[in-house]
């Protein structure tokens, strides 16, 4: 069982296809078509709470644009601004962490990409005007499309887990999904990884997927009657 926990597969490579849309259908559509938008309207700012999928979406968009032959780059933390100026699409995550010099660099990058008809995607934890950034930069980020990434509801997560289980060839009861949502990290990649581990443990133990089996995997002792 210990080895099964160690063998939990990492989350699949982020893509727009494996992102469960929930209430984010319009945001996904905007990301897919961003490089082909009208001149001056090729910037998009996406914000949301931790677990809402912001980082997944940025990585997924960059992967899509690279497949289309565009020079696209994701960045966060230490940024090499000169290299980004040559890109067709730039995705910048965690914008709220930028220092003063980096904010000026982003301001200049925004203007340069806009003038060249290229695309910029920026992500942060709150709406543009609430960011702890320079006023002129916050204004720029609000010029383009602005979307809030809506986290999945528990019902939507449960539906996604049941769909994933069906694809793996087993039925997932509501009791098991409810237990997962109470005892495992609630972001969808973590839930999916645990579900995959549960499926493997079920096959190894030759037992159906139940709450009791999940307790064994999580090493949670059964409740005393």
Per-residue pLDDT tens digits for 8-23: 445 568 889 888 899 9
User: pTM of the prediction?
Assistant: 0.81
Reported as a single tens digit per residue, the pLDDT across 38-89 is 877 799 999 998 878 899 999 999 999 999 999 999 999 889 999 999 999 9
User: Which ranges in the chain belong to alpha helices (H)?
Assistant: 2-6, 25-33, 54-67, 81-84, 100-116, 135-141, 154-168, 174-183, 188-205, 211-218
pLDDT value at 182 more than 70? yes
151 neighbors 124 (Cβ within 8 angstroms) = no
Handedness of CA 6, 176, 164, 30 (dihedral sign): negative
Return the H-helix or E-strand segment holding 120.
strand 119-124
Which pLDDT does position 220 carry in this prediction? 63
Domain with CATH 1.10.8.60 in the chain: 2-8+152-218
Tell me which CATH code domain 2-8+152-218 carries.
Answer: 1.10.8.60
User: What is the location of CATH 3.40.50.300 in the chain?
Assistant: 25-148
Tell me the per-residue pLDDT of 103-119, one tens digit each, with 9 for 90 and over.
Answer: 999 999 999 999 999 99
**How many other C-beta atoms lie within 10 A of the C-beta of residue 3?**
8
Q: Check residue 19 and give its pLDDT.
A: 86
Question: What is the architecture of the domain spanning 25-148?
Answer: 3-Layer(aba) Sandwich (3.40)
Mean residue pLDDT of the chain comes to: 89
Please list, residue by residue across 177-194, b when 16 or more beta carbons sit within 10 angstroms of its beta carbon and e when fewer do: bebbeeebeebbbebbbb
């Amino acid at each position: 069982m210990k080895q099964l926990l160690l063998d939990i597969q990492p989350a699949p490579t982020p893509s727009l296809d494996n992102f469960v849309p929930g209430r984010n259908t319009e945001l996904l559509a905007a990301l897919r078509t961003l490089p082909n938008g009208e001149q001056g309207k090729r910037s998009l700012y996406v914000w949301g709470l931790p677990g809402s999928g912001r980082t997944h979406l940025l990585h997924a968009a960059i992967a899509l644009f690279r497949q289309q032959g565009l020079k696209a780059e994701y960045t966060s933390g230490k940024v090499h601004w000169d290299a980004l100026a040559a890109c067709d699409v730039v995705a910048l995550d965690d914008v709220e962490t930028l220092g003063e010099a980096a904010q000026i660099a982003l301001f200049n990058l925004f203007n340069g990409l806009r003038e060249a008809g290229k695309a910029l995607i920026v992500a942060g934890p709150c709406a543009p005007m609430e960011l702890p950034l320079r006023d002129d930069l916050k204004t720029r980020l609000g010029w383009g499309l602005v979307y809030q990434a809506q986290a999945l509801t528990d019902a939507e997560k449960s539906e996604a887990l049941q769909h994933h289980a069906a694809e793996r060839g087993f039925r997932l009861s509501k009791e098991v999904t409810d237990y997962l949502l109470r005892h495992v990290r609630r972001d969808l990649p973590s839930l999916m990884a645990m579900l995959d581990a549960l499926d493997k443990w079920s096959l190894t133990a030759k037992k159906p997927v139940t709450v009791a089996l999940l307790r064994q995997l999580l090493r949670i002792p059964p409740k005393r009657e």
